[in-house]
């Protein structure tokens, strides 16, 4: 009864973030959605990972954000996750971290150029970056506005969230998503890798060029879409 399977998968995703070294202390959160039930499950706010249990996961309604299961406050970033689930209808999991290399790009105010195939395997172009929030947006419903500028960036760039499963929130850090909470975690791991590689690429050659459109298409499409041939069954 209730949302045990969803809470279990969200709990596992949060624990895997720690194992992957993407979070320190309580910085970071993973969520999942059950669209049929109309709910989102997310990590509680500020709880240490070592004591986190599946039953601590908080369940909210997808439309209103009211708590329907759980005795703890949801992550303060919950409103951002809700905006993403509402706008990007195909996604089933969202992850937010302050992983160091991806966050450095967000702080530097730079999109991450696609310098190689590790990047092209994950997304179909540069890692997008939001505009900074205005003072009014920051002072208002800050976490909701953080979601709004992400959606705005995708609308403005005509970006498909299935082809671009990540974004950098300016001066803040990365958000990633996927079909499941587990896939969102994997995307967070890959994003951190390609962010580190891109920084090092520029350290070796400040004039390094992005990969060609043909190689970008090849790698992205061998993993995604109708003609994908990577893996066992996609």
Of these residues, 34, 55, 121, 162, which one is catalytic? 121
Distance in angstroms (rounded) separating the CA atoms of residues 20 and 65? 29
Give which of 35, 60, 34, 64 is closest to 45, Cα–Cα: 60
Q: Which stretch binds a copy of itself (CB under 8 A): 60-68, 83-91, 116-124, 150-158?
A: 116-124
Residue 209 CB-density burial (10 A; 0-12 exposed, 13-18 middle, 19+ buried): exposed
Element (H, E) at 173: strand 173-178
The CB-of-165 to a copy of itself minimum distance in angstroms stands at 14
Residue found under tokens 């400040």: 206
Cβ–Cβ under 8 Å, residues 166 and 127: yes
Binding a copy of itself (rule: CB under 8 A), the pick from 8, 61, 100, 180 is 100
Instruction: Give the dihedral sign, CA 74/137/101/33.
Output: positive
Question: Does the protein bind a copy of itself through residue 190 (CB under 8 A)?
Answer: yes
Instruction: Return the residue of 131, 155, 156, 171 that touches a copy of itself, per CB under 8 A.
Output: 171
Cβ of 162: how many Cβ atoms within 10 Å?
Answer: 16
Q: What DSSP character marks residue 129?
A: B
Task: Please tell me the distance from the alpha carbon of residue 193 to that of residue 201, in angstroms, as a whole number.
Answer: 12
Based on the shown chain and the rule CB under 8 A, indicate whether residue 204 belongs to the binding site for a copy of itself: yes
Is position 175 an interface residue for a copy of itself (rule: CB under 8 A)? no
Q: Which of the ranges 7-15, 35-43, 84-92, 196-204 carries the binding residues for a copy of itself, by CB under 8 A?
A: 196-204
Residue showing tokens 């991806």: 102
Stretch that binds a copy of itself, among 8-16, 99-107, 148-156, 158-166 (CB under 8 A): 99-107
- The residue within the footprint of a copy of itself, chosen from 38, 76, 141, 157 (CB under 8 A), is 76
Pairing of strands 29-34, 93-96: antiparallel
- Single out the segment in contact with a copy of itself by CB under 8 A; choices: 8-16, 19-27, 29-37, 148-156: 19-27
What are the structure tokens assigned to 208, written together? 């390094």
Asked whether position 135 contacts a copy of itself by CB under 8 A, the answer is yes
Candidate residues 8, 61, 180, 201; the one interacting with a copy of itself per rule CB under 8 A? 201
Find the radius of gyration of the CA atoms of the chain: 17
Q: Is 173 in the site for a copy of itself (CB under 8 A)?
A: yes
Any contact of residue 117 with a copy of itself (CB under 8 A)?
Answer: yes
Q: Using CB under 8 A as the criterion, which residues of the chain lie in contact with a copy of itself when the complex forms?
A: 24-25, 27, 44-47, 72-73, 76, 98, 100-101, 103-110, 115-118, 121, 132-133, 135, 138-139, 142, 171-173, 186, 189-190, 193, 196-205, 208-209, 211-212, 214-215, 218, 222, 229-232
């Amino acid at each position: 009864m209730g949302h045990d399977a969803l809470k279990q998968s969200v709990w596992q995703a949060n624990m895997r973030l720690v194992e992957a070294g993407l979070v320190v202390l309580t910085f970071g959160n993973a969520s999942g959605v059950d669209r049929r039930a109309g709910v989102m499950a997310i990590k509680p706010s500020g709880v240490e990972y070592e004591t986190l249990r599946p039953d601590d996961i908080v369940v909210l309604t997808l439309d209103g954000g009211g708590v329907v299961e759980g005795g703890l406050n949801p992550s303060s970033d919950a409103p951002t996750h809700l905006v993403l689930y509402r706008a990007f209808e195909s996604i089933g999991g969202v992850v937010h971290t302050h992983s160091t290399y991806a966050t450095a790009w967000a702080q530097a105010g730079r999109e991450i150029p696609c310098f190689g195939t590790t990047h092209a395997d994950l997304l179909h172009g540069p890692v997008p970056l939001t505009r900074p929030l205005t003072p009014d947006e920051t002072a208002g419903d800050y976490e909701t506005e953080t979601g709004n500028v992400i959606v705005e960036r995708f609308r403005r760039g005509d970006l498909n969230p299935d082809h671009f499963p990540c974004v950098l929130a300016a001066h803040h850090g990365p958000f990633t998503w996927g079909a499941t909470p587990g896939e969102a975690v994997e995307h967070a791991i890959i994003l951190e890798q390609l962010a580190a590689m891109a920084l090092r690429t520029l350290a070796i050659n400040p004039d390094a060029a992005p990969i060609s459109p043909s190689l970008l298409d090849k790698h992205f499409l061998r993993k995604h879409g109708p003609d994908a041939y990577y893996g066992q069954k996609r």
